[in-house]
């Protein structure tokens, strides 16, 4: 694990709101983060300092609890990852589901 690794423990996430609160704290989104998927995309695609690697443990639990919202979060993670690859940035966003 490096200093660029951000750990999310899925066993502590029961709601969409909890996910946003936890990630906002871990990534220092500040008081004006909108706590929704659009705000998540805005922050991840432009504001988060690279490199960053989100490691989501117990992601299977989060998927059970959040349902389709989990899939939408992962779509944003993947979209952010692909954007960084497309831009050929040396330091990139990445994520791992465990």
Query: What SS3 string covers 63-78?
Result: HHHHCHHHHHHHHHHH
3 state SS of 41:
helix
Helices 59-66 and 16-26, axial angle in degrees (round to 10): 140
Number of domains the chain is built from: 1
The DSSP secondary-structure symbol of 10 reads G
Q: What is the pTM of this model?
A: 0.95
pLDDT of residue 1: 61
Check pLDDT > 90 for residue 2. Answer: no
User: The domain spanning residue 57 has which CATH number?
Assistant: 3.30.370.10
Question: Average pLDDT, stretch 4-15?
Answer: 96
Check pLDDT > 80 for residue 37. Answer: yes
Give the mean pLDDT of the chain. Answer: 96
21: domain range? 5-97
Check pLDDT > 80 for residue 35. Answer: yes
């Amino acid at each position: 694990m490096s200093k660029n690794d951000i750990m999310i423990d899925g066993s502590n996430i029961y709601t969409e709101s909890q996910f946003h609160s936890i990630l906002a704290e871990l990534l220092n989104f500040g008081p004006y983060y909108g706590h929704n998927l659009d705000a998540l995309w805005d922050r991840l695609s432009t504001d988060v300092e690279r490199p960053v690697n989100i490691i989501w443990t117990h992601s299977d639990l989060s998927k059970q609890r959040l349902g389709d919202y989990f899939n939408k979060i992962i779509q944003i993670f993947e979209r952010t990852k692909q954007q960084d690859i497309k831009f050929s940035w040396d330091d990139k966003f990445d994520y791992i589901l465990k």
